Amino acid sequence: MKDPGFSLDARDAGGAAGVVRVSGKLEFVDAASLWDAATQILVSRSAVPATRLDFDLSDVTIVDGGAMALLVHLRNRLEEQGIHSEFVGAGPHVQEIVHLYEGDVHLPPRKKRKAQSALAQIGEATVAILHEAQLVFAFFGQMLVSAVRIIRAPRTANWKDVTPTMERAGADAVPIVVLINFLIGFVMAFQGAVQLKQFGADIFVADLVGLSVTRELGPLMTAIIVCGRSGAAFAAELGSMKVAEEIDALRTMGFGPMRFLVLPRALALVLVLPVLTLIADFVGILGGLVVGLVSLNLSIAGYVTETMKAVHLWDVYSGVLKSAVFALAIVLVACQQGLATTGGAEGVGRRTTSAVVTTLFSLILLDAGFTLLFHAFHL
């Protein structure tokens, strides 16, 4: 290997100061040798307390960008260790390179990150939640405006996407909805039967299952299932379109994303979720009937008669009404999160997760609100 065309010589400048005299040609091909020589000097001087260590470039004849970037990096390391360092004595040409690579700029001291208090974290999370809620309500307003415009001009809507979306969100979800709600009714009847047997009130299992499924569990469990299936799919689809700039392309061609993408999904889900809820009510009651026949020795006629006495039309209607509102909430949150996606594939995953979590919280909140409202009006 040829000898490098430079030399580094460390000298004391009196007190706790030192000078590294650099001479010769500083070229990128000698970067490894330059790094080794500079590191040896720094290690040898680390045992001696120092407050200043300058680089004397007066004898440097040639310097390129790679070598200067290396020297600037060494100088920044010294600054981080509390040792003041400067490039001194450089000629006009060398000084231009020093200035170009900010060798004459002092980095601000790195601030130590302080751990946030629990109260501060709660405050930031609250502000973030309120900001997201504001965005969702603004999105809801835009959706209402677009719906009014479509009513005035029906031909501008993307009607052809409604039927395929109904099939994906409705028909394809029937098996999982049937299975989950059948098991919900089955388990609830078993749990209730244990207590009701003690009082000889086996027949009232029909009341427990019928009212619970039609008023609460049927619409809520169905909405949760649809949220996990269709809500996540809506957020991921729109998020992928957003990061791939397909949304911008639609706007360029005159197709608003609200009319072309959001409203067809909203209409489809509002139509299919009440139907899925009715199916869920039926299979949930059927699950309770199986327990009544197997475990409680009830007859089919007796179980059905008691269910019809306990469950009124309003109980079913209230569940259907809830399901329509739940469908609107699922579409609203999922599409808003999808259209707010940034940051590539990671952003799509983050927004999809946020859409599912936010929708689940919204569903529970809406269900609690409906329960209080119905209780206040004795419904």
pLDDT tens profile 100-145: 877 666 656 666 677 778 888 899 889 988 888 898 889 999 989 9
176 plus 66 within the same structural domain: no
56 plus 190 within the same structural domain: no
Is residue 328 assigned to a domain? yes
The secondary element (H helix, E strand) that includes residue 1 is: none
pLDDT at residue 15 greater than cutoff 80: no
357 plus 229 within the same structural domain: yes
Q: What is the mean pLDDT of residues 32-54?
A: 71
201 plus 298 within the same structural domain: yes
pLDDT at residue 258 greater than cutoff 70: yes
Is residue 110 assigned to a domain? no
The torsion angles phi and psi of 115, rounded to 5 degrees, stand at -70, 135
71 plus 160 within the same structural domain: no
- The amino acid occupying position 347 is G
Q: How confident is the model at residue 219 (pLDDT cuts 50, 70, 90)?
A: very high
Domain end: 37, 67, 100, which one? 100
260 plus 153 within the same structural domain: yes
What was the pLDDT predicted at 215? 92
Is residue 236 assigned to a domain? yes
CATH of the domain at 33: 3.30.750.24
For the segment 160-218, what is each residue's pLDDT rounded down to a tens digit? 989 999 999 988 999 999 999 999 999 999 888 888 888 878 889 999 999 999 999 99
281 plus 179 within the same structural domain: yes
88 plus 131 within the same structural domain: no
For the segment 139-149, what is each residue's pLDDT rounded down to a tens digit? 999 989 988 98
Q: At what angle do helices 174-196 and 205-212 cross, to 10 degrees?
A: 140
Is residue 107 assigned to a domain? no
Would you call 101 helix, strand, or coil by DSSP? coil
- Structural domain for 142, as ranges: 120-376
92 plus 186 within the same structural domain: no
Question: Percentage of the chain with pLDDT > 90?
Answer: 42
What was the pLDDT predicted at 319? 93
Q: Residues 278, 172: contact at Cβ < 8 Å?
A: no
239 plus 370 within the same structural domain: yes
CA 152/CA 154 separation, integer angstroms = 6
Domain end: 39, 65, 100, which one? 100
Cβ-count burial 270-290 (b if 16+ within 10 Å, e if not): bbbbbbbbbbbbbbbbbbbbe
Higher pLDDT: 310 or 41? It is 310
Q: Residues 57, 22: contact at Cβ < 8 Å?
A: yes
Considering only CA atoms, which of 376, 262, 371, 266 is closest in space to residue 321?
Answer: 371
What was the pLDDT predicted at 49? 59
Total number of domains in the chain: 2
What was the pLDDT predicted at 36? 80
173 plus 288 within the same structural domain: yes
Q: How confident is the model at residue 2 (pLDDT cuts 50, 70, 90)?
A: very low
Mean per-residue pLDDT of the chain: 85
In the chain, DSSP assigns E strands to 6-12, 17-26, 52-63, 87-88
Considering only CA atoms, which of 235, 172, 245, 184 is closest in space to residue 210?
Answer: 184
Q: Is the pTM of the predicted complex or chain greater than 0.85?
A: no
82 plus 138 within the same structural domain: no
